A = this chain, B = another copy of it.
Amino acid sequence: MSDSPEEMAVWCAGEDWCPVTSTATIICRKWHPVIVHRLLHNGPTGFSELEDHVDGVSSKVLSDSLEDLQEKGLVDRTVINDQPFRVEYSLTKRGADLEPIISAMEQWGKANLHAPNESAEGRF
């Protein structure tokens, strides 16, 4: 498991900052990964459209999540039109760079989880 027991010090011993922890605090919220995933695959998306694509999310929670993602510099909000009023949410560079993480999550999910309606082992 270890790369080299002696040379490579045990992780975070004496370290006060850890990239994994920090990244986790950024994207570890229930809908964040899915929202990013949808924006990655569908490109810039309006609010209600996004609400449709993210199954099960309420407008309040989606609104909260998008605000949080904007604060963290992962998502941009652009007003496209005034009459009728239109906005578009899109990924910033930072946000788009999350793609490997989201993609890895998708792969793992497909390999290790399953749809609830399929006949399977019970858990997940």
Query: Which of A's residues lie within 8 Å of B, judged by CB?
Result: 1-3, 8, 10-13, 15-34, 37-38, 40-44, 52-56, 72-73, 94, 97-98, 100-113, 115-117, 123-124
Contact = CB atoms under 8 A, between A and B. Distances in A.
B112 A101 contact: no
A73 B54 CA distance: 27
B113 A22 contact: yes
Given A23-B109, A100-B104, 16 more contacts: A11-B37, A11-B38, A11-B42, A12-B38, A12-B53, A19-B105, A19-B108, A21-B56, A22-B124, A23-B108, A24-B28, A24-B34, A26-B113, A28-B29, A73-B123, A98-B108
A124 B27 CA distance: 13
A22 to B, nearest CB: 5
Given A29-B28, A43-B2, A73-B123, A55 B15 contact: yes
B53 A17 contact: no
A124 to B, nearest CB: 7
27 contacts: A1-B42, A2-B41, A3-B41, A8-B41, A10-B53, A11-B42, A11-B53, A12-B34, A12-B38, A12-B53, A15-B55, A17-B115, A19-B109, A21-B31, A22-B113, A22-B124, A23-B105, A23-B106, A24-B31, A26-B124, A28-B29, A28-B32, A28-B33, A73-B123, A97-B108, A101-B101, A101-B108
